[in-house]
């Protein structure tokens, strides 16, 4: 095994040990291995952060990409999953992209955009 393989193995073992700190995992109430382990990017004290998935937002701006990131937190001995959304331009500078997919959303949110300008 070369140095890169050894580092990858060490990283995976550390991630598995981190996952097993949950009491629910030890009792068999949650999976023995993290089902999202292939996307794991960061470990912290009671937190696991996964790969960001970027998608274009419904607004026209050069920086108007929205990123969704899976996050798992250790709460009362269980891993609880949530999604964090980051990115996009300030709401008062946004412009709707004309698309039939978001036409209903445009109608419902138009008053919010006007209030933000």
The predicted pLDDT at position 6 comes to 92
pTM here is 0.63
Task: Examine residue 109 and state whether it is found in any structural domain, yes or no.
Answer: no
- The mean pLDDT of the chain is 75
CB 41 within 8 A of CB 51: yes
Neighbours of 50 (CB within 10 A): 20
Q: In this structure, are strands 40-44 and 78-87 parallel, antiparallel, or unpaired?
A: unpaired
pLDDT band, very low/low/confident/very high, at 54 (cuts 50, 70, 90): confident
Task: Examine residue 15 and state whether it is found in any structural domain, yes or no.
Answer: yes
42-51 pLDDT, tens digit per residue, is 999 999 999 9
The predicted pLDDT at position 110 comes to 47
Domain count, the chain: 1
pLDDT band, very low/low/confident/very high, at 29 (cuts 50, 70, 90): very high
What domain range includes position 51? 3-89
CB 97 within 8 A of CB 58: yes
């Amino acid at each position: 095994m070369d140095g890169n393989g050894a580092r990858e193995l060490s990283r995976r073992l550390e991630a598995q040990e981190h996952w097993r700190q949950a009491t629910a995992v030890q009792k068999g109430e949650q999976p023995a291995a993290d089902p999202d382990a292939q996307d794991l990017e960061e470990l912290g004290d009671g937190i696991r952060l996964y790969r960001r998935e970027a998608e274009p937002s419904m607004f026209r701006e050069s920086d108007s990409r929205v990123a969704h990131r899976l996050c798992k937190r250790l709460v009362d001995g269980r891993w609880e999953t949530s999604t964090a959304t980051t990115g996009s331009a300030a709401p008062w500078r946004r412009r709707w992209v004309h698309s039939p997919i978001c036409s209903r959303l445009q109608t419902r949110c138009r008053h919010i955009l006007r209030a933000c300008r």
